[in-house]
């Protein structure tokens, strides 16, 4: 899936909001934030699938730290979108 | 019915006892030998000596390994303890060398943080903020 479709979903946008707020989150932390801050009560499995879509689009990467899997936001695909329409170059 | 005991599986009971008492600050309540290097071992909070006991249970059952590995991979705590001030506890424990996988974060009515108990589990500490 490409970045356009990946960010078309409001839950996936909320995931990115939270990963920008703090990089290096476990699935548990992310689900807690989505529930308590956004009122998103999707199952852990659903959030895990959203993360996979975001990874596929290059917007999220994960790394193992100790025995836990932590997630980070990656802005590069969005930069490419901004560049395509020359956002930032014009007034 | 009351909840008087709940438990966590620990890799090494005596090491766990040291961590849960000397580092986290609980007190030993019961220690009964249960065979070779196995104890019925519980701790309680010093502020609630007659409160719920935490059983430090050996992790020897073959199902415990894969079960805990899956929980830890997703950052899911095995237990959650109430604290008055999550940030202060975080700083106190970090100074004692405790590794946190999740620094204190405000999430709606709570401030939560998650630490590694060095015995195979993640433990959440949770400060409940007063709601207006």
Q: Which residues of B touch A29 (CB under 8 A)?
A: 75, 102, 105, 114
Q: Which residues of B touch A27 (CB under 8 A)?
A: 74-76
Would you kindly state where each structural domain of chain A is located, as residue ranges?
3-84
- What ipTM, to 2 d.p.? 0.85
Select the residue from A27, A28, A51 to test the B interface by mutation, using most B Cβ atoms within 10 A: A28
Q: Which of A33, A37, A68 is opposite residue B101, by nearest beta carbon?
A: A68
Whole-angstrom Cα distance, residue A19 to residue A72? 6
Cross-chain residue pair A37–B108, CB shorter than 8 Å? yes
Cross-chain residue pair B105–A22, CB shorter than 8 Å? yes
Cross-chain residue pair A33–B105, CB shorter than 8 Å? yes
Tens digits of residue pLDDT in A27-74: 999 999 999 999 998 999 999 999 999 999 999 999 999 899 999 999
Q: Beta B5-10 vs A68-73: how paired, if at all?
A: unpaired
Cross-chain residue pair B107–A25, CB shorter than 8 Å? no
Nearest alpha carbon to residue B54 among B92, B16, B101: B16
Tens digits of residue pLDDT in B109-122: 999 999 999 999 99
* CA nearest to B72 within chain A: A68
Cross-chain residue pair B72–A68, CB shorter than 8 Å? yes
The pLDDT value recorded for residue B104 is: 96
A4: closest CA of chain B, how far (Å): 27
The domain containing residue B101 runs over which residues?
5-128
Q: Which residues are within 8 A (CB) of B130 and not within 5 positions of it... i.e. 6 or more apart?
A: none
- Residue B108 banded pLDDT, cuts 50, 70, 90: confident
- Residue A78 banded pLDDT, cuts 50, 70, 90: very high
Q: Measured in whole angstroms, how far is the alpha carbon of residue A14 from the centre of its chain?
A: 7
Whole-Å CA distances, B51 to A61, B42, B89: 43, 12, 21
A3-84 is a CATH 1.10.10.10 domain: yes
Residue B94 has pLDDT above 80, yes or no: yes
CATH number of the domain enclosing B27: 3.10.180.10
Q: How many domains does chain B have?
A: 1
């Amino acid at each position: 899936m490409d970045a356009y479709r990946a960010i078309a979903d409001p839950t996936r946008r909320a995931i990115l909001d939270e990963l920008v707020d703090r990089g290096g989150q476990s699935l548990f932390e992310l689900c807690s934030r989505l529930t308590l801050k956004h009122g998103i009560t999707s199952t852990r499995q659903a959030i895990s699938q959203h993360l996979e879509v975001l990874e596929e689009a290059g917007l999220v990467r994960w790394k193992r730290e100790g025995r836990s899997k932590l997630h980070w936001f990656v802005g590069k695909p969005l930069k490419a979108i901004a560049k395509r329409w020359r956002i930032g170059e014009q007034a | 019915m009351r909840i008087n005991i709940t438990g966590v599986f620990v890799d090494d009971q005596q090491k766990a006892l040291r961590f849960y008492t000397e580092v986290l600050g609980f007190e030993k309540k019961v220690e009964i030998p249960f065979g070779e290097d196995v104890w019925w071992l519980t701790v309680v909070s010093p502020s609630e000596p007659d409160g719920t006991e935490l059983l430090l249970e050996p992790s020897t059952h073959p199902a415990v390994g894969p079960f805990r590995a899956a929980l830890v991979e997703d950052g899911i705590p095995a237990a959650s303890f109430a604290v008055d001030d999550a940030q202060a506890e975080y700083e106190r424990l970090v100074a004692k060398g405790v590794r946190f996988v999740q620094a204190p974060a405000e999430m709606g009515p709570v401030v939560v943080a998650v630490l590694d108990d060095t015995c195979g589990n993640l433990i959440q500490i949770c400060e409940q903020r007063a709601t207006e």
